[in-house]
Amino acid sequence: MNALLYAVTVFIWGSTWLAIAYQIGDTPVVVSVGWRFGLASIALFIILIARNALPKLTAENHKMAALLALCLFSNNFLCFYFATQYIPSGLNAVVFSLAPILNALNLWWLEKKRPDATFIQGALMGFVGVLMLFGAQFIHSAMDMTILLGLAVTFIGTYFFSMGNLVSARAQKKGMPLLPTTAWAMGYGALYLFAIALLMGYSLAFTTSPLYVSALVYLAIIGSVVGFNTYLALIGRIGAAKAAYCTVLFPLIALSLSTVFEGYEWTWQSVIGVILVVSGNLRVFGLPEPVKRSVKRWSRT
C-alpha cells in the first residue's frame, strides 16, 4: 500500500507543475489558486457526505485547519504560481524538493532537534545544486534578473509548505481526521484567497479556455484532492522523513515534462545541479528500504 501511495503521489505532483504553468495568463494568480482549492474542498466535502464520514471538528481543530490553510493551501501556492511566470515549472519543482531539508531545519529551530553531520552535508549538496541549476538558467537567459525573483519567491513558497508539514504532523498526532481536516483547510484557504482577490479589486471570474479549465480541474481534483491526501496519508503512515522521498523523485518528472512542453534546455551545469539536489536529499534520508533490499539481492547474485 505504501508503494502505491508513493507512486501515485510522485506522478501526480510531478505533473502538477506543468498544469500550473498552463494557468498563468489572463486570470489573476490569486483567483486561480482560490478556485483550485475551492473546487477541491467542495469535491472532498461531497465525498465525505456521500460516505457519511463528516465528523464535527472542535474549535481547536478548526484553528489547526486554518493554520494548515495558510501554509499548504494558499500562501505557498501563491508563491509557486507567481514564480512560474519567471522560471520553468521544472525548476520550480526542483526548489520545492528542498522541503525535506527545510523540515529538518524547522525542527532544529522550533523543537531544538539539532541535525547531525550527515544532514549538514546533504543540505549543502542540495543548496549548491539549486544554485548551479539557477546559475545555468541565469547565464542562458542573458542575465535576466527576473530569474532571481522567481527563485526567491518559490523558495518562500517552499518554506510555507515546510511549515505546513509540521502543522499536519502535529494535527495527525492529536488524532484529527485526515480527510475532514483537509477539506476544511482547503475551504479556508479558498475563502482567504478570494477575500484577497476582492480586496485587490479582482473579479472572481476565470478564463474559460479549454486549456485553462482542464488544468484547473486536474489541479483541483487530481493534484489537490488525490495528491495531497496520498501525501498526507504517507506522513501519517510512515512519518514525514520517509514520505519526503516523494519530493526527491517528482522533480525528475517535472523537469522531463518541462523539457518536452516548455522547451527547457539542459546544460552540463543543470545536469550536475539536479544530481546534487537528489543526492543531497538521499544523503539526508538515505536510500528507501525497498531500494536497499534490491541492492542487497543484486549484490548477492
- Say what the pLDDT of residue 254 is: 82
pLDDT at 291 over 80: no
pLDDT at 290 over 70: no
Judge whether 225 and 69 are in contact, CB under 8 Å.
no
Which DSSP helix (H) or strand (E) runs through 88? none
**Dihedral angle over CA of 19, 169, 43, 161, nearest 10:** -30
155 or 233, which is more confident: 155
Cell numbers standing for residue 33: 489558486
Distance separating alpha carbons of residues 153 and 224, to the nearest angstrom:
21
Residue of 58, 135, 133, 46 lying closest to 96 (CA atoms): 133
Cell numbers standing for residue 110: 522550533
Q: Where are the domains positioned within the chain?
A: 2-300
- What's the average model confidence in pLDDT over 142-148? 69
- Say what the pLDDT of residue 100 is: 73
SS3 category, 85: coil
- Say what the pLDDT of residue 219 is: 94
Of the pLDDT bands very low, low, confident and very high (cuts 50, 70, 90), residue 142 is low
Distance separating alpha carbons of residues 150 and 248, to the nearest angstrom:
21
Of the pLDDT bands very low, low, confident and very high (cuts 50, 70, 90), residue 280 is confident
Judge whether 170 and 220 are in contact, CB under 8 Å.
no
Cell numbers standing for residue 200: 485587490
- What's the average model confidence in pLDDT over 121-134? 75
pLDDT at 85 over 80: yes
pTM over 0.85: no
